Structure 1
Amino acid sequence: MHDEIDELVDDLAAAAGLAVQLTDTNFNSLTFGPHRGKVDWIRRETLLTRTTSAEIRRYLDTFNVRTAMGPVHIPADPSRDTMARLVVPVRSNGRTVGFLWFLDDGTAAHPAVLDRIVAAAERLGRLLNRDAHRQQLVADRLRDLVGEHEPSRQESIRFFEDQGWSARRVAVTVAAAVDPAAQPMDQTAVTEALDAPRGLDRKVLRAVHDDAVVLLSPAAAAEDPRRTAGRALDVLAAGGVAGWVAGVGGVHPTLAGAADSYRQARCALRVARSMSEHRPIADWPRLGALRVLTLLPVQALQQAIEPRLLPVLADATLVETLRTYLVEAGDIRRTCAALHVHRGTVYYRLRKIEQLSQLSLRDGDDRLTIHTSLHMARLAGMA
């Protein structure tokens, strides 16, 4: 599909003898033909970054490009150092799906040239619309692939196998905001960021699912899914979607394991949201004993916490000290260094923890109880 679009844009550039660029509805570059001769700073910036800055959007919006039903001529503006442009909406089924931009030296005003441009825009509209429908179909199939309805899951497996995924190892990544209540997902911004020209690799399938983004990626090596997750967070941040974390599921040998990888990624996402030391990416295979706890619902975690530890959990300073001490395997020197406090301060806080809880940090069973309860409390949002 994309090769067909690129070929059509190249042919149009050659036929019109003009520098042409195809953008999405937000003026971000999708593809462009050969450029010969002079270009202005707007064209240069959009070609180099493949995105359009807010400043450029504001300028172009003064010509009502987004609401245009037909070609729009934008005159040159020497004060802004901008060249004349012809903008042709690319439409399909009564809606605009993109724009063709030409740096116009007057050639585009010729009726024969303009007719050819408009005809090409109509064909591009059909291609972009087909591409959008295909992306929607892939997203729907991906949601079914990781869902609970077995017949739909089997149908999706067959669909993706027909697309060449039958012999691939796969892994699922789930990305979402750290606090979905504070940062509700802007689905449009997320989709635009992932689908931008310099966004996520096309071979990574993606779908918005509930409060998160689900990514299915091929995994030739164990590190591949983690790299995919990192890339996804990078392009989301570049697209203005900040404060996101990701959970990565285990690698499975076939598509049949995608649902398990998705559930693992969801569990890992809980860890990334609850435990700052696991941000921005929590990887299921690396979570160790935490894997067991992530399988429990919040209510079960709350009920399983050692009651004697509740007074300690109410004090953020004691919780931080306790967590650091346990992470550092009871090494006082490393605990002091990590907390940037004096040795006496750490000893004082540890004694206070033992007094409040009536549990001993020197007793193996008590120590296991404390450490497990602390993990459960953090996953349940209580610490």
Structure 2
Amino acid sequence: MEIQQLVDELAERLQHSVAVDDPHGHLIASSKHFGDEDAPRVNVVLSRDLDPRVAKYLFSFGIRSATEKVVIPGKDDLGLKARCCYPLRHRRQLLGFIWLIGDHGTDEVIRPYAERIAETLGQQYAASHANADRLAELGRQLLSRTDAGRHAADGLRAEGFAADGSAVYLIAVAQPAGRSRPPSFPELLSTGPVQEWVHTGRSAIEVDLDAAAVLICAPGDGPETGFDRLLPRLADRLAQGDVRVGISAPGSLGDVQELLRQALLSAGAGHLFTDLGAVNQWDEMFTERLLLEMALAPSVDTTPPRHMAALFDASNETLLNTAETYLDHGGDRSATADALYIHRSTLYYRLSQIQKLTGLSLADGHGRLSLHLAIKLHRIAGSDIGRLVQTDEDHG
């Protein structure tokens, strides 16, 4: 019997509303209301997601490790009525919760339904993970440059992934060289935005590369795909860390090697360019995209011209950083001094030294553009961003 049918049947017997969530608080099924609902329950039904403050309060009662019913007191400042929670476990694995507002003392009625719902969730979990494993293997083949990779797109379409020819996106997570491996998407977002994608295993496939974790996403068409919700929530989640996420332009499964390159470079750009955020889309970047393509093109010489060479000597790193900060702030001396935590007179002295070393007037637009380009290309050439693309080329 389907979970929704079981939830509706239990609600009718109890004459109280019933909801079933997954282990992260995302709504799986909800009965009709019987007048006992509160604001958080209504919000969950509308958004299919728990308010983070409510989730934190509910999870603080140890419901994720519980094996028996847990009664949770109400909390007025959250608009939360007292409720009880029945963990749903199949072969000891937590697959969700049954929620009832109030404590009705009807365990003998509820427990058989809890067991049947847990059994159904267990069957769905096993089926979805078997399917996810098949898709993951095809995804690994797709991102490789082997013969198998060239046939993987057809295999994915046969499995129903982007079968209608809809656009796919690649999302890559990367960290600077020398750091620990980037977290996988489940580790990074186990309670958050990526759940819109991975709950079925069909709308996103995760592939781990040497230097990045990658999601192949097929959002489809329409406003309910979750893609518009995923990106800002990713940015918010990553804002305080050193992980960066890059997102390719839309393309087809046949274009996946180029999409992978775009996603990896977009992630790497977040480490290189301080004005970018934690999440960057290839087709939303312009200057950075041009600089990356220029710096990584094998036929392009990014060596600074001779008259600028002294500025790029290791002994002049402070002056180089000052020039870059000044140019990044559009020549605003006050903002530059603040950003560098130096007095304006110190900045004026450094700027005069930069002009002497380079022979450029920082009041001249062409000179400023030349110097800015030289600095950015130097930063890219000296970075490890090429490692990400090389990982792509060598994968498989």
Q: Deviations over 1:7-40 (max 9, x none)?
A: 5544543455442222223455433222313246
Where 2:60 maps in the other structure, the secondary structure is helix
Listed as ranges, the matches of 1:188-227 within 5 Å are 188-196=187-195, 205-207=204-206, 209-210=208-209, 211-217=212-218
What whole-Å deviation, never above 9, does each CA across 1:49-94 have from its counterpart, x for those lacking one?
A: 52553232122x1xx66252xxx234575899864635142315x5
CA shift digits 1:243-263 (9 cap, x unpaired): 3433232333x3100221111
Report SS of the residue matched to 1:278: coil
Q: How does 1:273-352 map to 2 (within 5 A)?
A: 273-285=271-283, 286=286, 287-293=288-294, 295=296, 304=303, 307-311=309-313, 314-316=316-318, 318-322=320-324, 324-325=326-327, 328=330, 335-336=332-333, 339=336, 348-352=349-353
Structure 1 residues 200 and 365, CA, compared in 2 at 3 Å: closer, same or farther? farther
Distance 1:21 1:201, change over 3 A: same
After superposition, the Cα gap between the structure-2 partners of 1:173 and 1:219, relative to the gap in structure 1 and judged at 3 Å, is farther
1:171–1:217 contact (8 Å) kept in structure 2:
yes
8 Å Cα contact 2:128-2:201 kept in structure 1? no
| 1:183/1:90 CA distance change after superposition, 3 Å | same
The answer (yes or no) to whether the contact 1:189–1:241 under 8 Å persists in 2 is no
Quick one: which of 57, 60, 66 aligns to 1:58?
A: 60
Alpha-carbon distance in 1 for matches of 2:26, 2:349: 58
User: Would you say the 8 A contact 1:193–1:238 is kept in 2?
Assistant: no
Deviates more, 1:173-182 or 1:150-159: 173-182
Query: Structure 2 CA distance, aligned partners of 1:219 and 1:115?
Result: 38
What residue in structure 2 maps to residue 168 of structure 1?
166
Q: Given the alignment of the two structures, is residue 87 of structure 1 paired with residue 89 of structure 2, yes or no?
A: no
Report the AA paired with residue 120 of structure 2.
R
Which residue of structure 2 lines up, in the alignment, with residue 155 of structure 1?
A: 152
Give yes or no for the alignment of 1:130 onto 2:130: no
Q: Distance in 2 between the 1:153 and 1:241 partners?
A: 37
Confirm or deny: 8 A CA contact 2:244 2:278 kept in the other structure: yes
Mapping 1:262-277, distance limit 5 Å: 262-277=260-275
Cα distance change, pair 53–23 in 1 and its aligned pair in 2 (3 A): same
Q: Check conservation: 2:21, 2:98, Cα contact below 8 A.
A: yes
How big is the shift at 1:317? Answer: 5.6
CA shift at 1:281, angstroms? 4.2
SS of match in other structure, 1:374: helix
2:31 equivalent in structure 1? 33
Distance 1:282 1:53, change over 3 A: closer
CA distance in 2, matches of 1:237, 1:147: 28
Q: Counterpart of 1:73?
A: 69
- Which amino acid in 1 is paired with 2:50? R
Which residue is 2:389 aligned to?
none
Seen in structure 2, the aligned counterparts of structure 1 residues 77 and 32 have a Cα distance that, compared at 3 Å, is same
1:261 corresponds to which residue?
Answer: 259
- The percent of aligned pairs where both chains have the same amino acid is 19
Distance 1:171 1:316, change over 3 A: farther
TM-score (norm 1): 0.70
Give, in angstroms, the shift of residue 238 of structure 1. 5.8
Gaps of 5+ in 2: 385-396
Q: How far apart are the structure 2 equivalents of 1:40 and 1:238?
A: 28
Deviation at 1:316, TM superposition (A): 4.1
Indicate conservation of the 8 Å contact 1:171/1:219, yes or no: no
Contact 1:199 1:235 (C-alpha < 8 Å) held by counterparts: no
TM-aligned CA deviation for residue 373 of structure 1: 3.6
| Corresponding letter in the other structure for 2:55 | S
Cα distance, 1:87–1:363 mapped onto 2, change above 3 Å: closer
Cα deviation, 1:215-248, whole Å, max 9, x if unaligned, reads: 4245879xxxxx94x7434323666784343323
Structural RMSD (CA):
4.8
Over 3 Å counting, the alpha-carbon distance change for 1:131 and 1:354 in structure 2 is same
Contact preservation (8 Å) 1:301, 1:377: no
- Counterpart CA distance in 2 for 1:44 and 1:316 is 57
Residue identity opposite 1:352 in structure 2 = Q
